[in-house]
Amino acid sequence: MIPCPVCRVENDEFATTCRSCKAFLQNRVVNLDLFETAWKILEAPKKTFQRIAIAEHKNYSLALFSMFGISLSFTLFWYLRLGDRFDTLLDLVPTALGAGLVLGLLSSVVLSGLYHGFAKLLGGKTSFRNSFAILAYAATPVVLSLFLVLPIELLTFGMYLFTWNPHPYTIKPVSYVALIGFDGIMALWSVLLATLGTVVGHHVDIIKAIVIVLLTVGMYGFLLLAAAQQVLAIL
């Protein structure tokens, strides 16, 4: 809550003017700049989630979800060893990209829907638009790893990354552990950011935020794997 400096009325933390006397409370944020916001979410996450919550337009949220979907798609291709279904990387990569865009759109609806639902159940207080933007920007580390690490993984292991035949670990153990480890750390970082974003955006304590995020990740992971098995059984 922000008390008004003029009339002392308590205002919502994301209000820019007092609801009673219209006095100035904090700077308006109209638009979010992608690179500035993505950088600041890594550097000063708490302040940046506050800024995202205040922003009138939650710019680039859908773009971030799309890139998150592409990252998720390649992870599924790796985890489910889908390389056997393709002749070369030139067939696999466009398919994974296409599936990733679909997965990104799906995630933007299902993942943020689950998240918003769990948050509301546990006393979360922000709008769906803010839930959506919190998750989108929390995905920044995963998106970074898509651009930084995936190209190196593709160049280092080629199809073996997706066939496990032989397992990429046996080809270059150190590179494999380092690259997959880096991906894992970035995913964990995104989970931590989502938790922090939940504390800031939904005004819940850290324990509730952890429960909300873990329920969301667990449920979405379960649904995603179940759906992927169904789709693969049909194809």
- Where on the chain is the footprint of Zn ion (CB under 5 A)? 4, 6-7, 9, 18, 20-21, 23
Contacts of 75 (CB under 8 A, 6+ apart): 183
Instruction: Specify the residue, 10 or 91, whose C-beta has the smaller distance to Zn ion.
Output: 10
Where helices occur in the chain by DSSP H, the ranges are 34-43, 45-54, 61-79, 89-121, 128-138, 140-148, 150-157, 160-163, 168-171, 173-202, 206-234
Asked if 76 and 224 count as a contact pair (C-beta separation under 8 A), the reply is yes
Cβ 107 to Zn ion, closest distance in Å? 40
Min separation Cβ 202 and Zn ion, Å? 25
- How large is the C-alpha radius of gyration of the chain? 20
CB of 2 or CB of 187, closer to Zn ion: 2
Residue 12 CB, nearest approach to Zn ion (Å): 13
Q: How large is the greatest C-alpha to C-alpha distance in the chain, in angstroms?
A: 70
Nearer to Zn ion among residue 9 and residue 223 (C-beta): 9
Closer Cβ to Zn ion, 7 or 225, answer by number: 7
Least distance (Å) from Zn ion to the CB of residue 17?
A: 8
How far from 192 is each of 63, 120, 187, CA to CA, in Å?
Answer: 21, 19, 9
